[in-house]
Amino acid sequence: MAHGLSAAGIGITGSILTSCGALRTHHQATVEARRERVAIVGAGVAGLAAASALRAVGFDDVVVLEARDRIGGRIWTSNIGGHPIDLGASWIHGVDGNPIAGIAADNDIQILPTDYDNASTYFHGGDAANRSRDHVVTGFWSFARQHPRESLHALYDRYVNASNLADEDRQYLAYVLNTAIEHEFAADIGDLSLSSISGGEDWPGHDALLPGGYSQITEFLASGLDIRTGQAVTRIDYQGTEVVLTSAGGDRVDAATVVVTVPLGVLKEGVIEFVPDLPATKHRAIDSLGMGVLNKTCLQFDEVFWPEDVELIGHIGTKPGRWAETVNLFVYTRQPILMMFNAGAYGAQIEAMSDAQIKGEALATLADMFGSVAPLRNALITRWQSDPWSYGSYSYVPVGSSWIQHEELAKPIDDRVLFAGEATHEDFPATVHGAYLSGIRAAREVATYLEQRTRPLGKRTSSSRLLEQ
Ligand SMILES: Cc1cc2nc3c(=O)[nH]c(=O)nc-3n(C[C@H](O)[C@H](O)[C@H](O)COP(=O)(O)OP(=O)(O)OC[C@H]3O[C@@H](n4cnc5c(N)ncnc54)[C@H](O)[C@@H]3O)c2cc1C
């Protein structure tokens, strides 16, 4: 995932949430502005970042409404046999200057580097894919660069036919496109083009996992906030001077401004009625971005039966796009736990299968590579597509669409209905740090709006400036 944070972003992060434990609240928001109520819909990392940034600069009345009975959203640390396991985000993508790595460092949250080159890949039947086939992959990308707007699937078909690739090379290329592209963007290569996957930025540094769980980050952000769980917002009425939010149970919250951080999938499903309706540009952004699927199958065994020091295990099966990648969590936790991935259409398809069927396919894949498997002790299976508070895993830009749509999704309506969340970040969508930074951006917009609202002459005062430092 892309990261290359702007200097402004780093400054905001440092001043608000990491080095600003000692924020000087007495000279921040104006007295009038900080009395105003700010409603935030969603207690994922974007909503929590916005709320904690606003609290840090003196806004007293920040209410976070969350539909689930837990915070964190797509950051969700569960446990498997008593050991933390992340069912949503796992990695900090690029640790150098990444605000999430900064929060971890400031709070003594352990992170461990991961090395994707420390991998073993097996063909169907268990033969190691040890001959270098990099030339096949580089050849494909040179071809794709000549047709940047065409679907990668169409290009794959043309490339393998024109180059008359051997079966194993063709299977290897399909495997690389599945694990490196479809898992990354949570969408099939038929829905992606080179230009549709090339709009983001990469953050420098290696990637890292949090062995104690990603929720340590959201727990930190949530501390001291007014978070109301079990509040599924169904209506946001912004016709009057106050914004009125109604929840499924009939509860009502009036606020001066609202930050909507629900996932793109929830916006697509029309779960929230906006009154008046959202502008056409916003609907276009919602429709033209894609909400992808990446699902995890986490398995705890009695003992390790795979190469214990290899971080990634690849499987080039007879059916491309299925059970191709497994993370060996033993490397980081010393527990016999594997995390297997399925993305795109197959990731969505398995959601209709029973747990027993999914476990059966997972174990068959492992047996194909290693001959036999140890007894399975516990399993956790995600179904993000069917999750009514997400309707998918994260956003992507489909073939034919444009990265500009992330910016359109981020635009405020009437200055006081604001949008944050991973899908609103123009450089780092689909990531935790993108969601976090979008929340900080929304907090800045809230501060600016409220200071203008409470000071009619629009003189900018300290809280919005502080959020920009
Ligand atoms: C399987 C998976 C793996 C991932 N892996 C990584 C990774 O390794 N690294 C990485 O950087 N990113 C990863 N991501 C992406 C990352 O998790 C997200 O980009 C990020 O957590 C999104 O945060 P958010 O605040 O935008 O949205 P969310 O975390 O989804 O927060 C939105 C909140 O809104 C709530 N909500 C929804 N509807 C309503 C409603 N009507 N009323 C009130 N509340 C509502 C939701 O319950 C949720 O809590 C992964 C995601 C998934 C699903």
- pLDDT at residue number 31: 85
| DSSP reduced 3-state for 60 | coil
Residue keyed to tokens 């169409």: 154
- pLDDT at residue number 126: 84
| H/E stretch holding 228 | strand 226-228
Which is nearest to 292 in space by CA: 314, 267, 264, 269? 264
Which ligand 1 atom is at minimum distance from the Cα of 392?
Answer: 53
Strand partners, 79: 84
Which ligand 1 atom is at minimum distance from the Cα of 384?
Answer: 53
Give distance in angstroms: CA of 82 to centre of ligand 1: 24
**Cα–Cα distance measured from residue 209 to residue 432, given in angstroms and rounded to the nearest whole number:** 12
Of the chain, the end-to-end C-alpha distance in Å amounts to: 26
Helices (H), 231-279: 264-269
Ranking 150-154, 165-169, 463-467 by mean pLDDT, the lowest is 463-467
- Mean pLDDT of the 432-446 span: 98
pLDDT of 201 strictly over 50: yes
Which ligand 1 atom is at minimum distance from the Cα of 423?
Answer: 26
- Mean pLDDT of the 408-430 span: 97
pLDDT of 435 strictly over 80: yes
Amino acid at 309: D
- pLDDT at residue number 47: 98
- Where does the pLDDT of residue 454 fall: very low under 50, low under 70, confident under 90, or very high at 90 and above? confident
- pLDDT at residue number 132: 78
pLDDT of 64 strictly over 60: yes
Residue 93 Cβ < 6 Å to ligand 1: yes
Strand partners, 314: 121, 325
Which ligand 1 atom is at minimum distance from the Cα of 90?
Answer: 8
At 333-356, the pLDDT tens digits run: 999 999 999 999 999 999 999 999
Residues in Cβ contact with 360 at an 8 Å cutoff, skipping those fewer than 6 apart:
none
Which ligand 1 atom is at minimum distance from the Cα of 47?
Answer: 25
- DSSP-assigned states of every residue in 398-415: -TT--THHHHHHH--BTT
- pLDDT at residue number 230: 98
- pLDDT at residue number 456: 56
Torsion-angle region of residue 334: left (phi > 0), alpha (psi -120 to 50) or beta? Answer: left
Burial of 382 (0-12, 13-18, 19+ CB in 10 A): buried
- pLDDT at residue number 34: 87
pLDDT of 23 strictly over 50: no
- pLDDT at residue number 465: 59
At 46-61, the pLDDT tens digits run: 999 999 999 999 999 9
Give distance in angstroms: CA of 389 to centre of ligand 1: 9
Q: Whose CA is nearest to atom 14 of ligand 1?
A: 89
Residue 266 Cβ < 6 Å to ligand 1: yes
Give distance in angstroms: CA of 379 to centre of ligand 1: 22
- pLDDT at residue number 137: 95
pLDDT of 21 strictly over 50: no
Ranking 16-20, 30-34, 187-191, 222-226 by mean pLDDT, the lowest is 16-20
Cβ atoms of 33 and 450 within 8 Å: the answer is yes
pLDDT of 440 strictly over 60: yes
Longest dimension (CA), the chain: 74
- pLDDT at residue number 146: 97
Q: Tokens at residue 466, please?
A: 């502080």
- pTM (predicted TM-score): 0.93
- pLDDT at residue number 33: 85
Residues in Cβ contact with 231 at an 8 Å cutoff, skipping those fewer than 6 apart:
65, 66, 67, 247, 248, 249, 251
Q: Whose CA is nearest to atom 20 of ligand 1?
A: 432
Mean pLDDT of the chain: 91
Burial 358-370 (b: 16+ CB within 10 A, else e): bbebbbebbebbe
Query: Is the model more confident about 13 or about 437?
Result: 437
∠ at Cα 445 (16, 418), nearest 5°? Answer: 120
Residue 410 Cβ < 6 Å to ligand 1: no
